[in-house]
Structure 1
Amino acid sequence: MDVAADTTEKTFIQIAEIWVPEGDRLVHGGGDYGGLGAFEATSRRESFAQGEGLPGKAWAEARPVVLKGFDGSYFKRTEAAAEAGLTAAVAIPVFAGAVLKAVLVVLCGDDDARTGAIEIWSETDGLMMLDDGYYGAAKHFEWVSQHTHFPVGQGLPGGVWAARTPILMRDLGSGYRFIRADSAAKAGLTTGLGLPIPLPSGRSCVLTLLSAKGTPIARRFELWDARASRVGKDGGAVLADGICAREGPLWDEDNPRRVTAWQGLIGRVLGSGLPVAESAAPGLPGGYGAMVALPLHQGGELAHIVAWYV
């Protein structure tokens, strides 16, 4: 039986929302707003042309975009964000080949308690270099990250770059595989998720989400493999790895590690090729209030789904 998760502690990411192309604009496609109803209402009335606002900028530039402050910027919902206590956001475009499927936007608030990291790494001169990132209160870890680069296969960004698959890392503060382990331990960072972000330019790009125990990005992470070489001719997706804040495995006789298209929330991503951000939705595991699932396409085909739950 599931034990209820503690949903009272602060999370590093406060909002996750989906924007999908409709004609020449991006329109609202769902989201988890963490109870911030006024900001949600404002967002549902909004839409973005290419290059307009944060989702439109990620669309126009065909790459993830980090925005650390809204005042005086191109962000369109500044007043509503300020009222909700939101101060930073990251937009992640979802491409299948050259086709934009959606843009996932995550929004955070900046205070002395929230620690974590959302980082964008890109290939430059044969190394993974930090494009930009948002770290909350983890200022020293931010400085270390700005002065760190990764050859192929090294650290979390380099490992994802080499494998071209999502990777979960445990015990960041003590793990020899995590190059920034010492500063991660001082910042309280415990879990790392690295994702290869496909871009139409073909440039290698890696998104990393680093979670701290006190203000976690999520309480549960799942990596689903949808590659034909892994799942066979019948299709579907298999649960390749996962981390849960509670005891016990993520699959058993009652919770199989395989899904088919349109079976549950992961199956919806599998069937549509679109990301999902839902709160209080049917199909959520017991004890969790919301989930985000992000599809990763390779060669124009859906290859992986990464999900996190709060």
Structure 2
Amino acid sequence: METVMEAPTRTFIEVSEVWVPEGDRLVLGSGSYGTLDSFAAASGKESFTKGEGLPGKAWAEGRPVVLKEFDGSYFKRTEAAKEVGLTSAVAIPVFDGKRLKAVLVTLCADDSERMGAIEVWSEKEGLLTLDEGYFGAAKHFEFVSQHTQFPKGQGLPGGVWSAKTPILMRDLGSGYRFVRAESAEKAGLTTGIGLPVPMPGGGHFVVTLLSAKGTPLANRFEIWDARSAKVGTKNEAVLIDGICKRDGALWSDETERRVGAWKGLIGKVLGTGLPVLETGPSPVTANYTSAVALPMYAHGEVSHIVAWYS
């Protein structure tokens, strides 16, 4: 009997990098490049001063930055990106108060089938409006997003803005809580996660990552609460929400999941206070090929960790 192998699922994000401050520059702390060895080599030779390149711009402006195309931009690795088909990037700075801890950069490729969205929302006159975003082939959803605003508490961006915590939403196309459900269904978007990104000078941005079934941003999402007042002790985190298309439910009230510093992917974030990237199937990556864990800070401590696995 012939065995039929399932083709690997293409993800919306091709590359993830963590850039960390070293003196007056940002240097590459870690990267997940898949098979894009030439781009990995080019990245390993780079560093950025404040305001230079995409990581440096996110550092200087203290906010998430989207680059929808590299030609004619301040992106320093344009030729290396072109060679491997990378066309756009998003940089998310991680600040503890006014101190930069790291910049997470994700890079995407573009084609007629790649659906998904990485959105940056900012406050203007008491409403959240789309500052910028990358949507791949989801052009109608992009148009709808450009003409949608959210008050506090409404939709995924407004909910994150109000709660100041990450939020995971399921069934975007049929969920009444997701304001853009109709256009999300047409684009095949199924899962959304919203991240609060506080600015060092005050004010907040919200980043939303919206995943489609055919080209998912990731195949598994987790949200961990690391607030000592909630967890009951420092340097521990509790899994409060998660979704995985392969493994199903990741937690329940009867099987609370808790992790301490330096134990696994989430524990490494607690121990270092930095975003963590892991590659290769292993217990740390739940046997996925790569994993990203991003900390969020509040009141001088890691408050939440969001992880996604591809």
Identify the TM-score tier after normalising by the shorter chain: over 0.9
Which residue of 2 is the match for residue 104 of structure 1? 104
Tell me by how many angstroms 1:178 deviates.
0.1
Note closer, same or farther for the CA distance 1:46–1:306 as it changes in structure 2 (3 Å cut).
Answer: same
The percent identity for this pair of structures is: 67
Which residue of 2 is the match for residue 152 of structure 1? 152
Tell me by how many angstroms 1:283 deviates.
3.6
Task: Give the SS at the match of 1:185.
Answer: helix
Q: RMSD in angstroms over aligned alpha carbons?
A: 1.6
Code of the residue aligned with 1:245 in structure 2: it is K
Task: Give the SS at the match of 1:92.
Answer: strand
CA distance in 1, matches of 2:154, 2:112: 31
Which residue of 2 is the match for residue 289 of structure 1? 289
Task: Give the SS at the match of 1:174.
Answer: coil
Does structure 2 retain, via aligned residues, the 8 Å contact 1:7–1:288? no
Does structure 2 retain, via aligned residues, the 8 Å contact 1:225–1:239? yes
Tell me by how many angstroms 1:300 deviates.
2.2
Tell me by how many angstroms 1:7 deviates.
7.3
Task: Give the SS at the match of 1:54.
Answer: helix
Q: 4+ residue runs of structure 1 moved beyond 6 angstroms?
A: none
Tell me by how many angstroms 1:248 deviates.
3.5
Q: How does 1:180-195 map to 2 (within 5 A)?
A: 180-195=180-195
Which residue of 1 is the match for residue 271 of structure 2? 271
Code of the residue aligned with 1:12 in structure 2: it is F
Q: Where in structure 1 are there 5+ consecutive unaligned residues?
A: none
Task: Give the SS at the match of 1:291.
Answer: strand
Q: How does 1:1-310 map to 2 (within 5 A)?
A: 8-251=8-251, 257-280=257-280, 282-310=282-310
Tell me by how many angstroms 1:6 deviates.
6.6
CA distance in 2, matches of 1:225, 1:241: 9
Does structure 1 retain, via aligned residues, the 8 Å contact 2:168–2:191? yes
Tell me by how many angstroms 1:234 deviates.
5.0
What per-residue deviation string (whole Å, max 9, x for no partner) do you get for residues 165-211 of structure 1? 10000000000000000000000000000010121121121000000
CA distance in 1, matches of 2:46, 2:205: 29
* Larger RCO (alpha carbons 8 Å, 6+ apart): 1
CA distance in 2, matches of 1:118, 1:140: 15
Tell me by how many angstroms 1:286 deviates.
4.1
TM, length-normalised to structure 1: 0.95
CA distance in 1, matches of 2:82, 2:67: 14
Code of the residue aligned with 1:222 in structure 2: it is E
Does structure 2 retain, via aligned residues, the 8 Å contact 1:7–1:289? no
CA distance in 1, matches of 2:234, 2:298: 19
What per-residue deviation string (whole Å, max 9, x for no partner) do you get for residues 26-81 of structure 1? 00000111211110011011100111110001011111100011011110000000
Tell me by how many angstroms 1:90 deviates.
0.3
Task: Give the SS at the match of 2:13.
Answer: coil
What per-residue deviation string (whole Å, max 9, x for no partner) do you get for residues 79-135 of structure 1? 000001000000000000000000000000110010000000011111111110000
Q: Where in structure 2 are there 5+ consecutive unaligned residues?
A: none
CA distance in 2, matches of 1:234, 1:168: 24
Task: Give the SS at the match of 1:131.
Answer: strand
Task: Give the SS at the match of 1:197.
Answer: strand
CA distance in 1, matches of 2:65, 2:175: 29
CA distance in 2, matches of 1:235, 1:46: 33
Does structure 2 retain, via aligned residues, the 8 Å contact 1:94–1:295? yes
CA distance in 2, matches of 1:235, 1:287: 25
CA distance in 2, matches of 1:134, 1:298: 27
TM, length-normalised to structure 2: 0.95
Does structure 2 retain, via aligned residues, the 8 Å contact 1:261–1:271? yes
Note closer, same or farther for the CA distance 1:234–1:145 as it changes in structure 2 (3 Å cut).
Answer: closer
CA distance in 1, matches of 2:172, 2:107: 24
Does structure 1 retain, via aligned residues, the 8 Å contact 2:192–2:208? yes
Tell me by how many angstroms 1:282 deviates.
4.8
